[in-house]
Structure 1
Amino acid sequence: MEGSEARPHVTRRREMNTVSARSLLMTLLGEYVLPRDRPPWTSTLVEALAAEGVEEKAARQALARTSAEGWITSDRVGRRVRWTLTPEGRHLLTEGADRIFTFGRTTPATPPWDGHWLMLLVTVPETRRDLRHRLRTRLTWAGFGTPDPGIWINPNPAREQEAREVLQDLDLSQGAMSFTAAHSTIGSQQAMVTRAWNLSTLEADYEAFATTFSTANPPTDAEAMRTQTRLVHEWRRFPFLDPRLPHELLPTDWTGTKAVEVFHTRHAEWHAAAQRGWDALDGG
């Protein structure tokens, strides 16, 4: 790779593909390879993916694809091949780790929501279904909800720059409008939130996550590594699924709060054993 023009590109669509061999590979790279200076062998990565149900052919294809995208590079040592993170890959995984481990956390310095909304008005002709889908996908990933056709809302007005970039990328800036406003006395703000976001499905996903991992008890280092991998891999979805609404807009006893605690508690509990499991697998 030469120069900034060769920098790889990753999309959120790929990050959300939780069932693919490549996505599982990225989880392994971020959880076990990023903290180490020792490049893993192909056999290590293939075996770790096999533990998650990935066939060898698919595992090797995932390695080849990830290498072609510029995140890892191979180095032959005799008959064996080991894989090193590129600077771009290390940067990507570092950003990903920061997103995963800070998501859902609040601090005493987190200011209360001031009640202001960013509202976008943008229409796409019914005949442009592909464009409508791309707009919906991009704005949903950015945390926007749509209570009615052509109207998008977000409780964080600072997301306007991200919305502007989406509209520019899709050539929809002309005719679009944005406003910063507070909900007034007509209608229910909570009813608007319910129409704009499918929080019931998200809440069910959080509940399933919390139930699964709060009761897990891996007895060995190898099993701890596999359970930790699944924990991190499943958690990776939520920063893209959750619009990160202020707690004032969430249902009472929001299960996302419980899921955050389960993730961080279990990850800390299993960390040492999971890392030992990886070292044993990689011949350390």
Structure 2
Amino acid sequence: MSVPVVSRRREVSGGSARSLLTTLLGEYVLPAERPVWTSTLVESLALFDVEEKAARQALSRTAAEGWLESDRVGRRVRWTLTSAGRHLLAEGAGRIYGFGSGAQEWDGRWLVVLVSVPETLRDLRHKLRTRLTWAGFGSPTAGVWITPHLSAEADAKLILDELDLSSQAMSYLATYGALGSERAMVERAWNLADVGARYQSFVDEFSAMRPTTPDGFLRAQTLLVHEWRRFPFLDPQLPAELLPAKWSGTTATDLFNELHLRWRTRAQERWSELAGD
């Protein structure tokens, strides 16, 4: 059995059929622990204006990545999550539902990673920046990467090993000293204004959403989770004392938890109807 291919870019991509399919698999298929018909997935994706051809292509490509396997029952095809697919989706669900901006306790220490890549190796520099950024690191100045999450050192080591840069890197734990401003360092390392604006857009969109029909609840719940999936990769999840005042991420976290609970039963009921349960 092939190992599923997953990338953080695909996990947070906005409107692709495959990204929406991943949300459906994680929100409805994974908890149900039973196969799902092609028609169920095609009809569900149609709620988001995904055409049947694109839906079937998304299924085929997701299966090719090792997330799904199919079998025939008469003239119909049903899909089952592979063991590796279940593992990745369960891991993603834990990340999504356990995520809360500003909720982490912090002992004041920073993980600092020093790694320098020559300007002439631009492609390698770009890969390093992209990978460390997706892992939650920020860079206040060239060659310096920081995070308040000390456990992220394992992620950094994996990235540096894969890019063959470990021998050129150093890491250490530190508290901020007397020079300069810790908050100014944070502002240079991360674009919190952009993240905050994205959170506010999430709040504006979903606080105004009022589903009333079975399809409406299914669509609203799926969109809620689909949009929320972005934030664990966009937000470095800094401790509350490092965040701007009236951080919109706190409001967004509360709204997500409230709406997910409020809409869940009606959305699951509609999914069960489509699935023929």
Q: How many corresponding residue pairs?
A: 277
Q: Which amino acid aligns with 2:67?
A: W
Q: Which amino acid aligns with 1:79?
A: R
2:51 maps to which residue?
Answer: 55
| Contact 1:75 1:81 survives alignment (8 Å) | yes
Cα distance, 1:85 vs structure 2: 1.0
Is 1:131 equivalent to 2:127 in the alignment? Answer: no
Match of 1:195 among 188, 192, 203: 188
Q: Deviations over 1:62-82 (max 9, x none)?
A: 100111111111111111111
1:41 maps to which residue?
Answer: 37
* Paired residues for 1:21-170 under 5 Å: 21-104=17-100, 112-170=105-163
Could you state the TM-score of these two structures normalised by the residue count of structure 1? 0.93
Q: 1:277 to 1:133 in 2, by over 3 A?
A: same
Match of 2:236 among 237, 240, 243: 243
Q: Provide the C-alpha distance between the structure 1 equivalents of 2:151 and 2:3, rounded to a whole number of angstroms.
A: 27
Cα distance, 1:172 vs structure 2: 0.8
Q: Which amino acid aligns with 2:72?
A: R
Comparing both chains, which one has the higher relative contact order based on Cα–Cα distances under 8 Å and sequence gaps of 6 or more?
2
Is 1:278 equivalent to 2:271 in the alignment? Answer: yes
Match of 2:16 among 16, 20, 30: 20
| Contact 2:102 2:243 survives alignment (8 Å) | no
| Contact 2:221 2:260 survives alignment (8 Å) | yes
Q: Provide the C-alpha distance between the structure 2 equivalents of 1:167 and 1:10, rounded to a whole number of angstroms.
A: 19
Q: Provide the C-alpha distance between the structure 2 equivalents of 1:157 and 1:134, rounded to a whole number of angstroms.
A: 22
Q: Deviations over 1:71-98 (max 9, x none)?
A: 1111111111111111111111111111
Cα distance, 1:37 vs structure 2: 3.5
**Which stretches in structure 1 are left out of the alignment for 5+ residues?**
none
| Contact 1:146 1:195 survives alignment (8 Å) | yes
Q: Deviations over 1:17-66 (max 9, x none)?
A: 22211110010011111111432211111111111121211111110011
**Which stretches in structure 2 are left out of the alignment for 5+ residues?**
none
Cα distance, 1:196 vs structure 2: 0.4
Q: Is the partner of 1:94 in helix, strand or coil?
A: helix
Cα distance, 1:258 vs structure 2: 0.6
| Contact 1:143 1:242 survives alignment (8 Å) | yes
Q: Provide the C-alpha distance between the structure 1 equivalents of 2:139 and 2:261, rounded to a whole number of angstroms.
A: 37
| Contact 1:100 1:239 survives alignment (8 Å) | yes
1:227 maps to which residue?
Answer: 220
| Contact 2:102 2:238 survives alignment (8 Å) | no
| Contact 1:119 1:179 survives alignment (8 Å) | yes
Is 1:206 equivalent to 2:199 in the alignment? Answer: yes
Q: Provide the C-alpha distance between the structure 1 equivalents of 2:101 and 2:114, rounded to a whole number of angstroms.
A: 31
